[in-house]
Structure 1
């Protein structure tokens, strides 16, 4: 554990470039932090920081070490989280992102599971990597780094448009402003706006960015008020019928690809059972 504490100390100082702030972040005194960093430097026989009375900077050795040290600390924390709850299964999903399949999967699994909700697929993936979750049911695209993934199901998307003013072709609907999603990855935002690589009309119109939304309720309100269009899985559209909003299938619109993801290092029998159940769910 001493090695892990020293790595945590190194990472904190490397990210803060200030021993006082790093000590506060770790809940240590500054002398304790300095001793931990000094012990690591002596163990490695290399200086990791250039220290003066005015500044702290990483040496080339420190810069080279930081990515691996950060990964080691994150992996250790994830392992500790999993060990503390070794008896259960934590499933991550978006609240409306399971195409309605999660209840059937859990019933077929036949054992209890804790559910955690994520706002985006990337957040769900992050929850797997840092140990908060064991397995996720999530729609692509998302960051698959460090994860194993299998396909579960596909579903069509529909265009949500103001009632009475529906576009009927892909080019027509793409000519209208589309709801934007600040804070999400650009690749995911493009998918939400039907500007992803799998949605390719022959002669795409210029892109028109609509107003932003934080969640589905805001997006549908913007559609109802005639401010923009948005694109949803069929199962979500069925769940949220709304006066003033028309859902229309559009030829050429990319579909939803629901996938099950789990840490590539996982050896959990419960995770394996969930994956088997999810991938054979009709």
Structure 2
């Protein structure tokens, strides 16, 4: 055997060993929420704020809400939001609250597989046990629908889910939702919603060639959304330059109507219709105050 042949075989062996090690590399932490009684009404509110209804429902299909969303077409393949109803096989009927907690906060299925980042689980990572238990209680009230969502259509090598473990290590962090004691209660509530549950940065932040959010471009807009869509910058500077105020932004999150009289379309229209329009006025104002970095009182701010 030549030296080159031996080196090639050794390199191939190392590659196979590395791939096998990655495939069996465990991810996630154990969870036990069985002792927490959830509040379904509060959970339904959190589900609206988190975009669950908007993403996991397909109004044009004639199917009931949460039975699976419209396909999300990206450069890596087509992802289909799954059925979240209580059907035993097609939905979440076979899960328990701890399975649900691992899925929502850690992005891991009951089988231990990593979810694709089309599911914005990094933004939900800081939800409390109470938040998750309430969400679970709400989902347990959804009538079953027995038709599973179609499978994802993802080409090699992105169809190898174990590769997501490396992706998560590199790009799996989300903006902080930690409370800043120097800021107002409303500003901190807005930060928790915008950076966390409402996951505004999932669309309004540009991504690199591997689909990871570019941290220094947070909320600075994106021209490469699934399906060829665009999301404008929503940094404080950009919003103020475009004439937004706390009052007008709060109103837009309720109505979808912008200061110039035009209305949100596409994905943002769905976000408003199925999500932010259902929020309490004080939560919409909190989001606006955080996005504009505005602590001032008064609806003309």
> What TM-score, normalized by structure 1, do the two folds share?
0.21
Structure with a larger share of its residues in helix: 2
> What TM-score, normalized by structure 2, do the two folds share?
0.20
Structure with a larger share of its residues in strand: 1
Structure ID, larger Rg: 1
